[in-house]
Amino acid sequence: MISEPELVSGPDGPGAGPPPQQVWAEPPWPQPAPGPQPVTPRARRPWLWALGGAALASAVWAGGLYAYDSAGPDLRGYRTDRDPCQVGRFDGLTAAIGPKGPSMNEPLKVDEPALFQWGCSVSLAKGSARYSASVDYSLHRVTDPGPEFEARMADPQISELGDRIGGLAEFAYVGQISGGGVWVRVVDGQAEVSLTVMPEIWDEKKNRYVESPDLDPVALQTYLVEDMRQLMDALRK
């Protein structure tokens, strides 16, 4: 009698589990290189735009500054070929004191690339009253004279204290000097001009000291302001 074939049982007995499966290993084929990964677009930061705008504004400002430096400051038409004591009529002073005489001395002139200066004096006389009117005219060709002028006017160790007035120039002051003198000083753009009237105490012709009558300093200041206005106009023509 032929018997049934016997089942081979595992260590745990018959029917303990499925038969082991054979696993086949994949051959080491070369794998393709990974391609470029897609880049997610990033939003621009707002401060980068602001920084770019600031840089552009700075470039425009620097270009304007270069153009200003190349062209030089605006001299507003002030000239260097006019004798201030000749073009200044001094109508107010001549009405209050006397006719304008010739120049009292040789003009003092400085003509440099950065600065032009002209100083002169004329006599004003009527009878025994003798006065001198002096003009100092400076044209600053490079620097702004305003801040330095204001500093001088505010410091009594450098200049006589005066009162600031308006309606004449950018900066204008009037004041008095001991001995009866009166002055007006202005800065108009690059031009700095002063006009001073003083009583003469020495008579060159008679070679002796003289005493001129006192004049009202308040009235003289009014005349000086009007004469300065005419002088500024004459230096620009």
pLDDT, residue 208, reads 65
Asked if pLDDT for residue 174 goes beyond 70, the answer is yes
Out of 25-29, 117-121, 184-188, 199-203, least confident range: 25-29
pLDDT at 209 > cutoff 60:
yes
Angle (CA) 231-232-236 rounded to 5° is 115
Question: pLDDT tens for residues 79-101?
Answer: 999 999 999 999 999 999 999 98
> What's the pLDDT at 11?
44
6-29: average pLDDT: 46
pLDDT at 124 over 60: yes
What is the reported pLDDT for 88?
96
Which fold would CATH assign to domain 84-236? Answer: Protein Transport Mog1p; Chain A (3.40.1000)
For the chain, give the number of residues. 237
**Does position 10 have pLDDT exceeding 90, yes or no?**
no
Enumerate the domain spans of the chain: 84-236
The predicted-structure confidence for 175-195, as pLDDT tens digits, reads as follows: 998 778 899 999 999 999 999
